[in-house]
Amino acid sequence: MRTDRELLAIADTIEERLTALEQELRGTRAALQNQGFDRLDSLYFERHEPGDPETAWRTGFSLAAVAEGYPLPRERSVSSDGERESLTEEVYEQLTAGEHVVVVGETGSGKSTVCKQVACQWHAETDRGAVLYRRSASTTTFDEPGTLIEAIRSDEDDLLVVVEDAPRADANTIFEVLDTLGESEEVAVLLDARTGTWESDSPMGGQTCGTRRHRDVQDYTHRGQRANRQPCEAHTAGLRAHRLPYDRGDSTALYTCVRRRYTTGALPDGQNRS
């Protein structure tokens, strides 16, 4: 039977350990934010309001707006008879199966929305690890790969890292991170890129699609100049690529549909909520 003094000593030790862990987490979060990464957790969504749907549809969807379900599902045609499937679900399933994925498309084709939807789905699943998300609108440069690598290796759960506009000069350090990661790393990487920066005939020399599993990371050997960190063939060989057509559809009708959905709860004739 422990004495009261011994129990108090144990409680003090536990409290000191929890304080140290909290300080460590704050330090890691701050270091990642300095590189443009947000850690998506309950604290993040408490601090970021989704705003109203009408503004979101006009100005673009934030992570909070996506978590609130404002954007419509992004789908793609899978057969000539009009059958469609959710691109978000397909990307999510490939990531959970152990692949790295890149979503490629023109500006405005919905790449970042797909990435945000996948990230929010990952966050919502209780058996998944954290999400580290870098938006293309970030005002900081990602130039210290060690910060992200340390965060990946210190996290005990499977982690999702998302980088929008990955080939850009202020974000393409992610390819150096891919070079460094080993088979034992419990991490999935989701990137998006504009078509012109990912094509094999572009100045960046990227390969558009690869079929190998991301566990074949020994093939991620950098063949270009290290200072450039551009997505060369070796970088992209293990990335599953999805292409989005440049097709926004009837944006006016779509906006009207969404506005009616959130103001009256009704959809135009022939439309459904799926």
Q: Is residue 185 part of a domain?
A: yes
Cβ neighbours around 5 below 10 Å, total: 8
Question: Does 150 share its domain with 128?
Answer: yes
First and final C-alpha spacing in the chain: 61
Q: Is residue 80 part of a domain?
A: yes
State the residue range of the domain holding 253.
37-263
Q: Is residue 170 part of a domain?
A: yes
Question: Does 211 share its domain with 90?
Answer: yes
Question: Does 215 share its domain with 122?
Answer: yes
Q: Is residue 216 part of a domain?
A: yes
| Closest among 226, 48, 221, 233 to 133, alpha carbons compared | 48
Judged against a pLDDT cut of 50, whether residue 233 lies above it is answered with no
Q: Please give the residue that has the higher pLDDT: either 81 or 236.
A: 81
Question: Does 20 share its domain with 67?
Answer: no
Q: What angle separates helix 4-34 from helix 145-154, to the nearest 10 degrees?
A: 150
Question: Does 171 share its domain with 203?
Answer: yes
Question: Does 183 share its domain with 165?
Answer: yes
Question: Does 28 share its domain with 85?
Answer: no
Q: Is residue 211 part of a domain?
A: yes
The DSSP result for 108-120, as a single string, is TSSHHHHHHHHHH
Report whether 157 contacts 129 (CB < 8 A): yes
Q: Is residue 186 part of a domain?
A: yes
CA–CA separation, 251 and 12 (whole Å): 60
Q: Is residue 154 part of a domain?
A: yes
Q: What is the CATH number of the domain that holds 248?
A: 3.40.50
Question: Does 132 share its domain with 6?
Answer: no
Q: What is the mean pLDDT of residues 28-39?
A: 87
Measured in degrees and rounded to the nearest 5, phi and psi for residue 19 equal -65, -40
Report whether 57 contacts 70 (CB < 8 A): yes
Helix (H, G, I), strand (E, B) or coil at 70: coil
Question: Does 24 share its domain with 63?
Answer: no
Judged against a pLDDT cut of 50, whether residue 36 lies above it is answered with yes
Question: Does 153 share its domain with 24?
Answer: no
- pTM listed for this prediction: 0.69
CA–CA separation, 109 and 74 (whole Å): 10
User: What type of residue is 31?
Assistant: A
CA–CA separation, 174 and 166 (whole Å): 7
Q: pLDDT tens across 131-153, in order?
A: 999 999 888 999 999 999 999 88
Average pLDDT, the chain: 73
Q: pLDDT tens across 151-193, in order?
A: 988 887 789 999 999 989 899 999 889 888 866 578 999 999 8
Burial grade of 233 (CB within 10 A; 0-12, 13-18, 19 or more): middle
Q: Which H or E run contains 147?
A: helix 145-154
Q: What band does 75 get if pLDDT is binned at 50, 70 and 90?
A: confident
Centroid of chain to Cα 59: 20
Domain count, the chain: 2
Question: Does 29 share its domain with 82?
Answer: no
